[in-house]
């Protein structure tokens, strides 16, 4: 099915068995700057699943490169052993392994405890992501950092890796030298393009000298920076053309964006609002200008899309990083011509980059086994198959049913509505969120594949459980919208956000609408945009400091951008108090002052939800062993619900 994708690719002296790779991404599976067992197993799983190349996450090459609390470091020889363990694990499966050598320049988080270094950059131009003012680098420091890149690359080679990638993408240090808006130097490292390229060229030359031949050396660049100024400040195609002409590189790896892009840094891990393979045209431009292989990354989450990119010659290989986080066996399934068995990444960003930004190991909302390979990496078949009854067909119940069936149990899932999927079926109806529905579609096809019997439109109670007498019951009855006490007087229509989304806004009056948001998740922001796009004047009143404050940063940026384009007015620090005929009353949570909104035609409540736990309480009386999972325990994210389902089924 995918002839080009599964053809080998020569990168310098390294032969990749196929064109699918995992690009460098932070995992938070690092301890004291070193590789952990968890990281070894994480990469082993992706290599075993058939990836042709894994590019390991960035490794700091100088003490001033320690840009987060959990960055891998390659500043001394102690790193070699950890890298060697990953290389051995990956090579066992015929997968090549490259590392990344890295300096963030001004892109350093502000240190809360003095553990992170002062930021350095070509010039004192502040960073827009962390709002840090860097110190300009002296020429002596430039030489020290260049030597650090070379030493780091030499250590990767000693550890048995196959290549190294110099990170000049996403506005990190080499990109800061290239960009005339950030590089204001008047010495030989600033000014015209050759001068601005000098730093990167010195790095490449030093790295090549340190690693010699037989080891791939490449550079990662942002093909488009999406600069917030009108024109792209860096002519990256010309930079690549000149680097290729220098003859020291084996490959280029193209992505997009920087921390200072329009709409913020979301291109670093583009959310689902960006189109599949949207970076391929930028890669194609660079490919047309150079002679060496060009790799590309950016929302390529299905082998069908990757095949098109490589077959059209836009790039020679595709990073499918989140696709591999979501389903490490994706390449093997594609090669076996079983694309329907692939659990496709939906670009939600919640548990991969979302976890990184929260400072804990990455995972996947659809596959909580990711990052937990040592605990759940191997499916343990049950020695004693039993009858398992799952009540509730949301993500928690579906995952529990799938895993219990995979383990060999006989599983029946009961769903009260006409369709399994739970809240995912609502989330997918929101503008720009249709891909979210893939989470339900993927679980639905896994239910079919593993032989789970699904019965819809069945309300299960304790009497039915007693009559059926399963060996174990998993209760996943979900939640209902939460409505606190409100002073509601008069005849203003008051609707629950879930009902509005379920009706695609068709049940909501025209005119002026207030959406009251308490959770700061996708519900309030999404329903506000949905109603505004249909021509209503919408005011979103949020209880916190900003709309979508509990969303992953890049998803929040894209949803906020869409809501702003739809002209949603946002009022922060506003707690709903009540409403009458045409007025909504709120309280400013900072000042205690009333906020009175007149002339309102309808009020939509996005005030969270509460557990539907009646059956959980009743099931005890049956004497049958049971486990509660998901929203019926307490309001859960999809990720928490799916993890609950996995844990419950692993224990049956
Ligand atoms: Fe993809 Fe979401 Fe999983 Fe991340 S958490 S890998 S974006 S499905």
Sketch the domain layout of the chain as residue ranges. Answer: 9-375, 379-480+611-651, 484-607
Report the residue among 22, 363, 365 best suited for mutation to probe ligand 1: largest number of ligand atoms under 8 A from its CB.
Answer: 365
Whether residue 408 has pLDDT greater than 90? yes
Q: Which pLDDT band holds residue 130 (cuts at 50, 70, 90)?
A: confident
CA distance linking residue 329 with residue 114, whole number of Å: 41
Predicted local confidence at residue 231, as pLDDT: 75
CA distance linking residue 605 with residue 492, whole number of Å: 13
Q: Which residue's CA lies nearest to atom 8 of ligand 1?
A: 345
Whether residue 369 has pLDDT greater than 90? yes
Q: Which pLDDT band holds residue 234 (cuts at 50, 70, 90)?
A: confident
Report the residue among 42, 350, 362 best suited for mutation to probe ligand 1: largest number of ligand atoms under 8 A from its CB.
Answer: 350
What's the start-to-end Cα distance of the chain, in Å? 38
Per residue in 31-64, pLDDT tens?
999 999 999 999 999 999 999 999 999 999 999 9
Predicted local confidence at residue 230, as pLDDT: 63
Average pLDDT over the chain, rounded to an integer: 95
Report the residue among 298, 351, 355, 443 best suited for mutation to probe ligand 1: largest number of ligand atoms under 8 A from its CB.
Answer: 351
Contact residues of ligand 1, CB 6 A cut-off: 322, 325-326, 345-352, 364-366
Ligand 1 centroid from CA 346, angstroms? 6
Q: Which residue's CA lies nearest to atom 3 of ligand 1?
A: 364
**Tokens coding 170:** 């996403």
Per residue in 141-196, pLDDT tens?
999 999 999 999 999 999 999 999 999 999 999 999 999 999 999 999 999 999 99
- Please say whether the beta carbons of 216 and 247 come within 8 A: no
Q: Is residue 466 classed as helix, strand or coil in its secondary structure?
A: helix
Per residue in 531-580, pLDDT tens?
999 999 999 999 988 899 988 888 888 899 999 999 999 999 999 999 99
Q: Which residue's CA lies nearest to atom 2 of ligand 1?
A: 348
Class of domain 379-480+611-651: alpha beta
Q: Which pLDDT band holds residue 265 (cuts at 50, 70, 90)?
A: low
Phi-psi region at 432: left, alpha or beta (left = phi > 0; alpha = psi -120 to 50): left
Predicted local confidence at residue 365, as pLDDT: 94
Can you tell me the mean pLDDT for 257-270? 73
CA distance linking residue 279 with residue 277, whole number of Å: 5
Predicted local confidence at residue 111, as pLDDT: 72
**Tokens coding 132:** 């840090």
DSSP per residue, 303-344: HHHHHHHHHTTS-SEEE-HHHHHH-TTHHHHHHTT-GGG---
Q: Which CATH superfamily is domain 484-607 in?
A: FAD/NAD(P)-binding domain (3.50.50.60)
Domain 9-375 part of CATH 3.20.20.70: yes
Ligand 1 centroid from CA 170, angstroms? 20
Per residue in 458-475, pLDDT tens?
999 999 999 999 999 999
Whether residue 273 has pLDDT greater than 80? no
């Amino acid at each position: 099915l995918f002839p080009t994708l599964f053809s080998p690719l020569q990168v310098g002296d390294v032969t990749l068995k196929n064109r699918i790779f995992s690009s460098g991404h932070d995992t938070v599976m690092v301890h004291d700057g070193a590789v952990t067992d968890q990281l070894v197993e994480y990469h082993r799983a992706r290599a075993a699943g058939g990836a042709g190349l894994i590019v390991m996450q960035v490794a700091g090459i100088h003490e001033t490169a320690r840009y987060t609390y959990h960055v891998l470091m390659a500043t001394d020889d102690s790193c070699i052993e950890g890298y060697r363990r990953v290389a051995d694990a990956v090579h066992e499966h015929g997968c090549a392994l490259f590392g990344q050598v890295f300096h963030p320049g001004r892109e350093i988080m502000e240190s809360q405890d003095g553990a992170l270094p002062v930021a350095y950059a070509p010039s004192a131009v502040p960073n827009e992501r962390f709002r840090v003012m860097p110190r300009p680098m002296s020429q002596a420091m430039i030489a020290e950092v260049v030597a650090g890149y070379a030493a780091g690359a030499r250590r990767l080679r000693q550890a048995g890796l196959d290549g190294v990638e110099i990170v000049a993408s996403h506005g990190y240090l080499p990109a800061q030298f290239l960009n005339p808006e950030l590089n204001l130097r008047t010495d030989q490292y600033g000014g015209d393009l050759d001068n601005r390229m000098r730093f990167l060229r010195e790095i490449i030359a030093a790295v090549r000298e340190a690693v010699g031949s037989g080891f791939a050396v490449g550079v990662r660049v942002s093909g488009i920076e999406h600069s917030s100024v009108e024109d792209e400040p860096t002519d990256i195609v010309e930079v690549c053309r000149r680097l290729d002409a220098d003859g020291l590189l084996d490959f280029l790896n193209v992505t997009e964006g920087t921390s200072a892009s329009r709409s913020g840094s979301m291109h670093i891990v583009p959310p689902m609002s960006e189109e599949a393979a949207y970076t391929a045209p930028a890669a194609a431009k660079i490919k047309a200008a150079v002679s060496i292989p060009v790799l590309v990354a950016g929302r390529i989450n299905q082998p069908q899309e990757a095949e098109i990119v490589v077959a059209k010659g836009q790039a020679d290989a595709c990073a499918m990083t989140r696709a591999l986080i979501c389903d490490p066996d994706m390449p093997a399934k594609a090669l076996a011509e079983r694309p329907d068995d692939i659990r496709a990444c939906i670009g939600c960003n919640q548990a991969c980059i979302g976890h990184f930004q929260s400072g804990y190991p990455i995972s996947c909302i659809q596959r909580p086994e990711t990052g937990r390979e040592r605990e759940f990496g191997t499916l343990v078949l049950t020695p004693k198959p039993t009858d398992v009854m799952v009540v509730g067909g949301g993500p928690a119940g579906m995952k529990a049913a799938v895993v219990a069936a995979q383990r060999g149990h006989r599983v029946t899932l009961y769903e009260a509505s006409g369709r399994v999927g739970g809240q995912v079926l609502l989330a997918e109806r929101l503008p720009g969120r249709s891909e979210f529905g893939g989470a339900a579609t993927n679980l639905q096809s896994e239910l079919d594949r593993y032989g789970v019997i699904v019965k819809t439109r069945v309300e299960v109670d304790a009497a039915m459980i007693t009559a059926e007498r399963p060996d174990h019951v998993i209760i996943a009855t979900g939640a209902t919208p939460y409505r606190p006490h409100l002073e509601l007087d008069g005849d203003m229509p008051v609707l629950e956000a879930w009902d509005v989304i379920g009706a695609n806004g068709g049940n909501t009056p025209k005119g002026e609408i207030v959406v009251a948001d308490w959770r700061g998740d996708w519900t309030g922001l999404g329903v506000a945009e949905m109603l505004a796009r249909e021509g209503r004047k919408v005011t979103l009143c949020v209880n916190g400091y900003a709309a979508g404050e509990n969303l992953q940063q890049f998803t929040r940026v894209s949803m906020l951008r869409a809501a702003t384009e739809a002209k949603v007015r946002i009022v922060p620090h506003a707690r709903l108090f009540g409403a009458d005929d045409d007025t909504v009353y709120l309280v400013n949570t900072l000042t205690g002052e009333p906020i009175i909104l007149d002339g309102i035609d309808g009020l939509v409540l996005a005030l969270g939800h509460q557990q539907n736990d009646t059956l959980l309480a009743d099931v005890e009386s049956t004497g049958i062993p049971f486990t509660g999972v998901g929203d019926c325990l307490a309001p859960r994210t999809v990720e928490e619900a799916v993890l609950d389902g996995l844990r419950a089924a692993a224990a049956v």
